[in-house]
Structure formats: structure tokens, C-alpha cells
Amino acid sequence: MAGFSGLLLGVFVYWHKVTISAAESDADQIEEHLWESGALSVTLTDPLDAPIYEPGPGETPLWAAVDICGLYEQDQDITAIVARFESEGLNVSQVETMAERVWEREWLTQFEPMPFGPRLWIVPTEYEVPSAAEVALRLDPGLAFGTGTHATTALILEWLDRQTWRQQSVLDYGAGSGVLGIAALLLGAGSCRAVDTDPQAITATNENAALNKVEQQIVATLPEAFEPAKYDVVLANILAAPLVTLAQSLMDCLAQDGMLVLSGIMSSQQVMVEQAYEGRVRFVDQFERDGWVCLVAKRC
């Protein structure tokens, strides 16, 4: 590490990153240690790549085990800081030296233009629209979940791409970044109401709608401001339990000849969700990917 640091000194700014592996129950105490030791930032990550999907309002769930990372300026004595942590019995699992980068652009290494059927592409603003993209949805990752990369979202995007759109009305319940509703509008839907419990999702949806020039066709609201109406297409990309709980509410919003599209369902939960809608709809199609199921239904 010292040799690498010497190469950078005087040429680049660099940072020390210290990672401590711990149980979730110790996370708060260790985070406090990092702040007290002079860390500029502290982040908590999942060492086992087990994502947490859509926590409830007011919840901040953590994994059973966490990696707690502190970032330090180059002139701090990182050797002494690490020695102090180890003397306190903390498990320092990694110490890195990193050259300064444009961090807000780091996601570009993971997120590139992606097709979702023969017409629809999601294209980050840093990229040119591919010639193959008949419909390009401009989207950059932000505070709210939803870039199309997860199977639950991708399955609905591909379904949207296959439909014939004639100015239908759309309800996007659990909108996240607004990607599904915006995609429907770009493909030919007439209007969209986007609903989400997270105020950040409302902000993200409005910003993404403006970016794609459909802001006049979409209204984003929190559930308490949502007044049920009838929609030609009802999209709900949440999780199985809320899909069951919201069954009556979603049915109240489905037009007589409307289409209901449910996603966020693990394969093992499919029967449970279908039973919640039994007698209200007939399921006409389903799609599966990576253990997730998307169900398409029409009113009985």
C-alpha cells in the first residue's frame, strides 16, 4: 500500500478506505467509532449480496451481517487508526487506498443502454441513443429504486413493449423512479397516475418525467393523496404481501376491460397472490425470470 500511495502523492488525491465486518447488532456502535476516528463518510453494505426490497415506510432494515466502510483523507494516519480498531477487538477486513474519481459517474460501469423488447430501450443520459432504439427512455440511477435492471421491473417493461397502445390510461402503483409509467407513455399510453409511499419516489418520478418530456401526462402522488379512479392498465410492481393486501384497492381501479399486471412475486408466492384475486380476475399470461414471476390478468 505504501508504494502505491507514493506513486499517487503529489499527482492525485487519494483516500483510505477501512472496512469493518460485523453483526447487524453492532453496526451503530462501530459506525460511531468510525466517525469519532475522523472518517469523512460511513457506508453500510451487504457482504453476501442479499438485497432488501422495498422496506416499509419508516423502516431502515439491515442485513444480519454488514460491512461498515469508513473513508479517510490521505494525510490521516491510517495505520494508527486500524491499530486502534483492532485493539478494540473490531474485525478490520480490508484497508484500501483509492485514487480520487468522479464518484457520481461510477455507476456508468454497471448501467449501460439496455433493450426491453424490440422497441423499448432505457438509455442513461451519458450515452447516445442506440440506432436500434425505436423508443428511448432516458433514465439515470437516483434516490428511488427502479432502473429496469431487476427482473421484477424488466418483466413488466418487456410486457409494455409488446402491447398496442392507443392512449390508454395507466396506474403505476409502487412507482419508484416512475420507469414503468413513463415507458408506457413513451410507447403510446395517454396518461398515467403514479403512486408511491416514498416522497423521494415522487420527486424522482417527476424529474424523470420531465427528462422524457411526458410531465404533462403523468401525476405522481403519495397514497393519501390518491383518489381511486378507473384505469385501462393497472401496474403494481411491489411485493407479494402488499399485492395481497391491496387486492381490493387495485381491483377498484381496474376498468371493466382493463389489464392488471402484478410483479415482485417470488415463484414460491405465486399461488398466494393468485388466491387473493381469485374470482375477481382471470389470469391470461405469466412470465418468469430469476425466480420472480409477473402475472397478467383481466377482470372476470
More confident of the two residues 96 and 217 = 217
More confident of the two residues 152 and 185 = 185
Confidence of residue 150 (pLDDT cuts 50, 70, 90): confident
Give the CATH number of domain 110-299.
3.40.50.150
Q: Cβ(237)–Cβ(174) under 8 Å?
A: yes
Of 217, 249, 219, residue with least CA distance to 234: 249
* Residue pLDDT, tens place only, 201-242: 899 899 999 999 999 999 999 999 999 899 999 999 988 889
All CATH 3.30.70.120 domain ranges of the chain, comma separated, are: 2-100
Q: Which residue has the cell 396506474?
A: 171
**Listing from the earlier edge strand, what are the strands of the sheet with 254-266?**
218-221, 191-195, 169-173, 231-237, 254-266, 292-299, 281-289
Residue 35 has pLDDT above 70, yes or no: yes
Say if residue 14 is exposed, middle or buried (CB neighbours under 10 Å; 0-12, 13-18, 19+). Answer: middle
More confident of the two residues 248 and 23 = 248
Residue 177 has pLDDT above 60, yes or no: yes
Of 214, 248, 217, residue with least CA distance to 234: 248
Looking at the chain, the whole-number percentage of residues with pLDDT higher than 90 is 48
- For all residues of the chain together, what is the average pLDDT? 83
**pLDDT recorded at residue 64:** 66
> CB within 8 A of 35, min separation 6: which ones?
42
All CATH 3.40.50.150 domain ranges of the chain, comma separated, are: 110-299
Q: What's the whole-number mean pLDDT along residues 19-47?
A: 82
Q: Read off the pTM.
A: 0.66
CATH number 3.30.360.10 is the correct assignment for the domain at 2-100: no
Q: What's the whole-number mean pLDDT along residues 112-139?
A: 93
Of 221, 299, 287, residue with least CA distance to 260: 299
